Chain A
Amino acid sequence: SQQGEEDPQALSIQEGENATMNCSYKTSINNLQWYRQNSGRGLVHLILIRSNEREKHSGRLRVTLDTSKKSSSLLITASRAADTASYFCATEIRADYKLSFGAGTTVTVRA
């Protein structure tokens, strides 16, 4: 079963705009991670946020975590064509490397 659910399922934006996607999950977690996948290839780890953290930044990425609402958001600022990909949130309930993924958000950045 999938622990996380992303919203929206698909997102189309113009280059230079910001992209925001959300993730909701069901049970308490140890951490939440965001991954990117290009054209059905392997997953690239973007950012990990622990349950005691509320916000993390990495370059043009900003992730927030609200454990009271069991939700997270990923913001990509100043998007580029190379950001076109599917983005997945994944939760780790215990520190055991077992990840539960959502169905993903497909982002298309138009030039």
Chain B
Amino acid sequence: DAGVTQSPTHLIKTRGQQVTLRCSPKSGHDTVSWYQQALGQGPQFIFQYYEEEERQRGNFPDRFSGHQFPNYSSELNVNALLLGDSALYLCASSLRDGGSLQYFGPGTRLTVT
């Protein structure tokens, strides 16, 4: 049973560019949440997807957008990259009404130069 997978593992982008990160949830999970973790900080909630819709959103600008596909996988898109977007992006999956337990992927390390 595969856990949460994320791709790519690392990537480097230039300011102003756009990036897409991908997440495949744990088998059977239907809810995906995205977090941003800056160096030396705790993760910050970006948004959450369930039934292909954004259900909750944290305090992030509209440059951050996402999508959930019918197979429950998800993408995180960031437009007009800033240096401050450099971070580890974590995906977490859960089962709706699953008792608050969620599983995190290994993350994607984004460096913006």
For B43, list chain A residues within 8 Å (CB).
43, 88, 90, 99, 101
Minimum CB distance partner of B104 in chain A = A43
If A97-B48, A101-B43, A101-B44 touch, does A42 touch B90 (CB 8 Å cutoff)? yes
A27 within 8 A of B: no
User: When chains A and B are docked, how far (Å) is the Cα of A4 from the Cα of B39?
Assistant: 17
Contact of A97 among B4, B58, B94 (CB under 8 A): B94
Let me know if A59 is at the binding interface, CB within 8 A.
Answer: no
Interface centre among A90, A95, A98 (most CB of B within 10 A): A98
Residue of A nearest to B95 (CB): A97
Task: Give the total number of A-B pairs whose CB atoms are below 8 A apart.
Answer: 69
A22 to chain B, nearest CB (A): 15
- Complex CA distance for A100 and B56, rounded to whole angstroms: 13
* Chain B nearest CB, measured from A21 CB (Å): 13
Name the interface residues of B71-95: CB closer than 8 Å to any CB of A.
Answer: 88, 90, 92, 94
Known A-B contacts A31-B100, A104-B42; the reply to A42 vs B107 at CB < 8 A is: yes
How extensive is the interface on chain B, given as a class? Answer: 20 to 34
**Docked pose: A91 CA to B17 CA in angstroms:** 34
- With contact pairs A31-B100, A42-B107, A45-B102 given, residues A103 and B45 touching in the complex (Cβ less than 8 Å): no
Contact partners of A92 in chain B: CB under 8 A: 100
What mask results when residues 61 to 93 of chain A are scored 1 for a CB within 8 Å of chain B, else 0?
A: 000000000000000000000000000101010
Chosen A-B contacts, 22 in total, with CB atoms closer than 8 Å, are A1-B59, A2-B42, A40-B107, A42-B106, A43-B43, A44-B104, A45-B104, A88-B42, A92-B100, A96-B48, A96-B56, A97-B92, A98-B45, A98-B48, A99-B33, A99-B45, A101-B42, A101-B44, A103-B40, A103-B41, A103-B42, A104-B41
Other than the given A42-B90, A102-B42, 16 more pairs (CB < 8 A) read A35-B104, A40-B39, A42-B4, A42-B106, A45-B104, A90-B43, A96-B48, A97-B33, A97-B92, A97-B102, A98-B33, A98-B48, A99-B33, A99-B43, A101-B43, A103-B41
